Amino acid sequence: MSSTIWSVDEHLDDILATVRPLEPIELQLPDAQGCVLVKDVVVEVALPPFDNSSMDGYAVRIADIEGASEEFPAVLTVIGDVAAGSAGLDGDQVVGPGQAARIMTGAPLPAGAEAVVPVEWTDGGTGEGPAATMRAHSDAPEGATGEVRVHRSVEAGAHVRERGSDVKPGDLALRAGSIVGPPQIGLLAAIGRSTVVVRPRPRVVVLSTGSELVQPGEELTGGQIYDSNSFALTAAARDAGAIAYRVGAVTDDAETLRATIEDQLIRADIIVTTGGVSVGAYDVVREALSSVGDEDEPGSGIDFRKLAMQPGKPQGFGSIGPDHTPLLALPGNPVSSYVSFELFVRPAIRALMGRTDDLHRPTVRAVLKVDKALTSPAGRRQFLRGTYDEEARTVTPVGGSGSHLIAALAQADALIVLPEDTTSAEPGTETDVILLR
């Protein structure tokens, strides 16, 4: 372990300088969700691809309904139906003078028609008064023959979605660097794209160490505790956008741990361990990995270091395996491991994804809402759990500073940051707050 004390920023900079975005791949749309586009997407098909109706109603010519009213309706001959998904009217039929075609929402506007009159502005084709509901329209005889009375006039293009009114061929649909979320997937599908070139979501393997760890649901015996870290960090990795795999707790045996990590390399873009990074007799991560590395490859291997922070002083970072897979070794106390994940692992995951402008959780300034001053060790950046009031712009500590107090962590939605040069923060002090929501 290095005797140098690293700052939080130095450790983070070292990680981000080492981690490189994953190579682009082509994915089916459902698999691309959450990924970053590598190439601009240009529209090839107009959207919508044809003029179509935005209402259930009747496709008409403007001249035929000019001045129509309930007292003096325009009486038109219905020449046929135009359903969504159809090619339009049968054969070479067009809407001619004194004619109309019954049309459904999304159906193509038939030749000769200039607008659509909503069914509610007609008698529904029943030969009666104005249609009060959509049911009156659906009750019109199949084949839509006979007459329809139109009780209101419309302007040209009314209730018609014009071809290309959303996007046209040659338009830029999405820029490289865009995040593929649900709306973006909808647009890609709408313009006919079934695949897209993106940087994939990184595969993160999380494993905890410690012979004292027992899986939730099993019975505890003397000296044992439940493994919570691997569950919390796996969930945090998914929340950061990764595909996460949780490995069951590994006992305090260096060879077993080394073999387990080597087995996981085949499915890992980044490995996260928790526990075993201090200087104790049973800190197996340091023992197992401190000598790992390829002498012919500068920079390989894991460096264990001390950071000027609380909680989370002991940390490890480096690469392992033939592909130099990044490995971050986090402390074993629950709060220490989670705070370390948010500060260091989450940005690494986002960097692997190719994200640039949102590597970190948002930070805001807030006023401390406390009854008495908070103390902080000199020379260390302290991270306290807190709840943030967005409206009041205040933050209130939750629980104590102990790195084992996981219940307080579950209640917190923010981390209160006390800088290295702060040893006491009085009520009303303004400080940085990292939002965890």
User: Within this chain, do residues 245 and 130 fall inside the same structural domain, yes or no?
Assistant: no
Residue pair 239/347 in contact by the 8 Å Cβ criterion: no
User: Within this chain, do residues 42 and 92 fall inside the same structural domain, yes or no?
Assistant: no
What's the CATH number where 324 sits?
3.40.980.10
Q: How many CB atoms lie within 10 A of CB 11?
A: 23
Residue pair 325/289 in contact by the 8 Å Cβ criterion: no
User: Within this chain, do residues 17 and 120 fall inside the same structural domain, yes or no?
Assistant: no
Residue pair 240/349 in contact by the 8 Å Cβ criterion: yes
What's the CATH number where 180 sits?
3.90.105.10
Q: List CB contacts of 33: < 8 A, sequence separation 6 or more.
A: 180, 181, 182, 185
Place of tokens 């805001």: 364
pLDDT of res. 328: 96
User: Does the predicted TM-score (pTM) go above 0.75?
Assistant: yes
What's the CATH number where 413 sits?
2.40.340.10
Residue pair 57/119 in contact by the 8 Å Cβ criterion: yes
User: Within this chain, do residues 100 and 17 fall inside the same structural domain, yes or no?
Assistant: no
What's the CATH number where 119 sits?
2.170.190.11
User: Within this chain, do residues 235 and 346 fall inside the same structural domain, yes or no?
Assistant: yes
Question: Which element (helix H / strand E) includes 77?
Answer: strand 74-82
What's the rounded Cα separation, in Å, for the pair 292 and 313? 22
Residue pair 7/308 in contact by the 8 Å Cβ criterion: yes
Query: 244 in a domain, yes or no?
Result: yes
Domain boundaries, position 58: 52-161
Query: 311 in a domain, yes or no?
Result: yes
pLDDT of res. 277: 77
- The two structure tokens encoding residue 132: 């009060």
Query: 371 in a domain, yes or no?
Result: yes
In terms of DSSP H, where are the helices of 47-104? 62-65
User: Within this chain, do residues 180 and 247 fall inside the same structural domain, yes or no?
Assistant: no
The single-letter DSSP state of residue 250 is E
Domain count, the chain: 4
What's the rounded Cα separation, in Å, for the pair 194 and 6? 47
Residue pair 261/320 in contact by the 8 Å Cβ criterion: yes
What's the rounded Cα separation, in Å, for the pair 238 and 349? 10
pLDDT of res. 30: 95
What's the rounded Cα separation, in Å, for the pair 145 and 80? 6
Place of tokens 């197996």: 284
Domain boundary among 317, 332, 352: 352
Query: 358 in a domain, yes or no?
Result: no
Query: 357 in a domain, yes or no?
Result: no
User: Within this chain, do residues 103 and 207 fall inside the same structural domain, yes or no?
Assistant: no
User: Within this chain, do residues 378 and 344 fall inside the same structural domain, yes or no?
Assistant: no
What's the rounded Cα separation, in Å, for the pair 242 and 244? 6
What's the rounded Cα separation, in Å, for the pair 175 and 431? 37
Lateral strand order in the sheet of 36-37:
25-28, 195-199, 36-37
What's the rounded Cα separation, in Å, for the pair 1 and 345? 20
Reduced to 3 states (helix: H, G, I; strand: E, B; else coil), residue 407 is helix
Q: What is the pLDDT along the chain (437 residues), one digit of tens a residue?
A: 557 899 999 999 999 999 999 999 999 999 999 999 999 999 999 999 999 999 999 999 999 999 999 999 999 999 999 999 888 888 788 999 999 999 999 999 999 999 999 999 999 876 655 554 334 444 444 444 589 999 999 999 999 999 999 999 999 999 999 999 999 999 999 999 999 999 999 999 999 988 888 888 998 988 898 899 999 999 999 999 999 999 988 888 888 888 999 999 999 999 999 987 765 555 678 778 865 544 555 556 889 999 999 999 999 999 998 999 999 999 999 999 999 999 999 999 999 999 988 999 999 999 999 999 999 999 999 999 999 999 999 999 998 666 567 888 899 999 999 999 999 999 999 999 999 98
